[in-house]
Structure 1
């Protein structure tokens, strides 16, 4: 006897239907996990051209003691954002304008008591080491009364520093976005290529022997490579 009934495929069990979904979820998880691990190995801002700054940071790390013990040395290559600000004449300036020099980029404000106390040391540092290979770039971020910071520097007879300002305080936000500005004052030691060598949250005795020794070791002549 012939069975003329059409053959039917038995319905798949819920477990069978879930298998492709589970496999897909595992694959997606693996991809996301790889991306996560990769981002830890190569964090945003990583730049192979900044490897030399990390090497330099390791070299001078033993000098980060005493008055500059709070310095955090760079362990990952990082090129700083091209911070935008103005000079004393209101002309636009950028961090890239200083390429070829080792910089100590400092953010300060008159409402910040530790900042005001730190300024004489920064002024002294610029007077002692400032030149074709090094400069202190102290950027004021007062958002009100632009004459107040200028008057402060004048009254304190701090004439070694060039005056730079950002009345929108965007430079602080730009550094905060990459984890280099947690409070005020904040300073970042930057090499001639614009790469981070070290950073510090809070004031430091920049005119001290400890600071001078470390900074002299960090300064690389524009004609030298490392």
Structure 2
């Protein structure tokens, strides 16, 4: 079920980390639509949708940023090898080790995906897995104008 009750909300100020410790502000991704996917290696529906998210990231590379943010706590060094082992090549291993972003979004279930327009305003969010290569996905992504 797509939730549009937060439509227009600003992208939160949040600092992401990659496994090497490199930091990046979420706001740095403004400028094109942004699909944020909160997931974990232990979440079966999350893992099942990774290949479709990877294909979407490759297919729309110049016009959409797909940002997967792992909620794995305690073993951040396992995320990048996990993605590689699953054949994921276009998604980066960003981390939310403390679960702060999940708290910000009041996430109760993984995966949870939040979609922003190019100006950093929320369009919709989705709880649960989705087929990101489906025909209805194109219409959903077109909502960010």
Q: Normalising by the residue count of structure 1, what TM-score does the alignment of the two structures yield? A: 0.60
Of 153, 172, 183, 2:109 maps to 183
Change in Cα spacing, 1:145 to 1:204, as seen in structure 2 (3 Å) is same
| Bigger mean CA deviation after superposition, 140-149 or 192-201 | 140-149
Q: Answer whether contact 2:37 2:113 (CA < 8 A) is retained.
A: yes
Change in Cα spacing, 1:75 to 1:98, as seen in structure 2 (3 Å) is closer
Q: Answer whether contact 1:104 1:135 (CA < 8 A) is retained.
A: yes
Indicate the structure (1 or 2) with the bigger Cα radius of gyration: 1
For residues 138 and 167 of structure 1, the distance between their equivalents in structure 2, rounded to whole angstroms, comes to 13
For residues 43 and 136 of structure 2, the distance between their equivalents in structure 1, rounded to whole angstroms, comes to 24
More contact order relative to length (CA 8 Å, sep ≥ 6)? 2
Aligned length: 145
SS at 2:126's partner residue? strand
Q: Answer whether contact 1:134 1:219 (CA < 8 A) is retained.
A: no
Structure 1 residue 197 and structure 2 residue 123: aligned? yes
Structure 1 residue 146 and structure 2 residue 72: aligned? no
Deviations 1:89-119 (A, max 9, x none): 3211111011111000110111111111111
Structure 1 residue 218 and structure 2 residue 140: aligned? no
Deviations 1:165-218 (A, max 9, x none): 121121111111xxxx23111000111121110000111101112213431x23
Q: CA RMSD in A?
A: 1.7
Q: Which has the higher helix share?
A: 1
Aligned to 1:82: 13
Aligned to 1:123: 54
Equivalences for 1:25-174 in 2 at 5 Å? 70-74=1-5, 76-131=7-62, 133-174=63-104
Unaligned runs of 5+ in 2: none
For residues 54 and 98 of structure 2, the distance between their equivalents in structure 1, rounded to whole angstroms, comes to 24
Q: Answer whether contact 2:16 2:23 (CA < 8 A) is retained.
A: yes
Q: Answer whether contact 2:13 2:27 (CA < 8 A) is retained.
A: yes
SS at 1:218's partner residue? coil
Q: Answer whether contact 1:118 1:203 (CA < 8 A) is retained.
A: yes
